[in-house]
Amino acid sequence: MSSLPQLIGFTEQHGQWFAENVSLQAIANEFGTPCYVYSKKALTHAFSAYDKACYRKDGTRRARVHFAMKANSNLAILNIFSKLGTGFDLVSGGELTRVLAAGGKASDCVFSGVGKSRAEITLALKAGVKCFNVESIPELERINEIAGSLQLKAPISLRVNPDVDAKTHPYISTGLKDNKFGISFGDVIHTYQVAHQMPNIQILGIDCHIGSQILDISPFLDALDRVLSLISELESLGITIHHLDIGGGLGIDYGGDTPPDITYFANTLLDHIESKGFQQLEVIFEPGRSLVGNAGVLLTLVEYLKPGETKNFCIVDAAMNDLMRPSMYEAYHAIVPVQSTHVEPTLYDVVGPVCETGDWLGRDRTLAIQPGDVLAILSAGAYGFSMSSNYNTRPRAAEILVDGSLVHVVRERETFEQLLQGEKTLS
């Protein structure tokens, strides 16, 4: 890839990059680096693109967005989405706690994930989540048991593994039969029949999610057709499905990618469902990356330029612990200087200070830079901070949200003192 992604909320003007009306250089100067910067305008624009498709021409609702918050769980971002009207897709008890702290409602949450613990199930039942997306009979049995002990009925859907190839990176493919996720297509009807007999289970829906960073609509349609056939078969057996959760996974433009337009994508899937005669179903989208990926950048300072025999290295103060995706997935992120300079462009590998050869953020990038410059790593709003760590005892970055000309610190940079909290030496 060599082109820049098409962005909302981040622009280059006369050689300077801005988040809405605020210069990225000014943000770096005031708040330091590494630093995540998000655009409220970009977040709102992406949500609106989905929301347009969620209503029929007569104004009736046909779908709702549940943000897959593993992509970015900052409280300010969750609060923005909650006010816009999203629900949430959770994968842990900690994420449920975050939703509640951000002003969201448990009744607007679906709880996904293959390994829900007893404590998490208990927490979610007591809070009153909308639905559990169940991924195995042992999990179903555990939920039934805990719900009975609490004298509750647990609302559930089953996550179907449709064995559809999403043609994405193997680490983020979730809909093939050799993936750990979901119930095998051939076992779904039997599993629903088992659930139907459980006294503390209430069947609400059916769920399907086939992967992430998918750039083609056809795998979604293939999966939909398989799931819709299951719904018809279940109805014939007297098991009513009230909602269809079609997951997320729509890709974004990292620079040279061509994902479908969000509204076109959502309309295509919803029109397909209705064309098959399933207008009565409540439909749930679970977008993550496509809501937040291009709504954030990571700012990092150029510490050293190190020429080598076969490579030139641009050593920056951000690292794999700040942005894991390049090291973990060999993922591409466009990288730009936030201010243009008049030095000669040179080919660099952009690397961090962590003691791992895998600590790189971009390879073979032509950059006109010098030490002390600030770079913006684009398309970092999804799986950036949320996957960050303290590896090498590095404090996690600050997070900043820009709303027009207003700049909000939505997470303070960690301190060394905070890194040591909770630890004790032997007396």
Residues making up the binding site for substrate: 289, 325, 329, 356, 383
Q: Give 204's contacts (C-beta < 8 A, 6+ positions apart).
A: 131, 155, 156, 157, 241, 242, 243
Q: Which residues of 206-229 are buried (b: 16+ CB within 10 A; e: fewer)?
A: bbbbbbbbbbebebbebbbebbbe
- Among 35, 131, 208, 355, the one annotated catalytic: 355
With contact defined as beta carbons under 8 Å apart, do 71 and 292 qualify?
yes
State the Cα–Cα distance between residues 412 and 401, nearest whole angstrom.
Answer: 12
**Annotated binding residues:** 249, 286-289, 325, 329, 356, 383
Provide the β-strand partners of residue 12.
17
Q: Which two tokens stand for residue 278?
A: 């399933």
With contact defined as beta carbons under 8 Å apart, do 252 and 5 qualify?
yes
State the Cα–Cα distance between residues 74 and 418, nearest whole angstrom.
Answer: 18
Residue 355 falls in the annotated catalytic set:
yes
With contact defined as beta carbons under 8 Å apart, do 17 and 376 qualify?
yes
**Annotated binding residues for pyridoxal 5'-phosphate:** 249, 286-289, 383
With contact defined as beta carbons under 8 Å apart, do 117 and 95 qualify?
no
Q: Which residues of 139-177 are buried (b: 16+ CB within 10 A; e: fewer)?
A: bbebbbebbeeeeeebbbbbbbbbbbebebeeebbbbbe
With contact defined as beta carbons under 8 Å apart, do 160 and 112 qualify?
no
Q: Name the residue among 245, 227, 247, 121 with its Cα closest to residue 174.
A: 247
Catalytic residues: 355
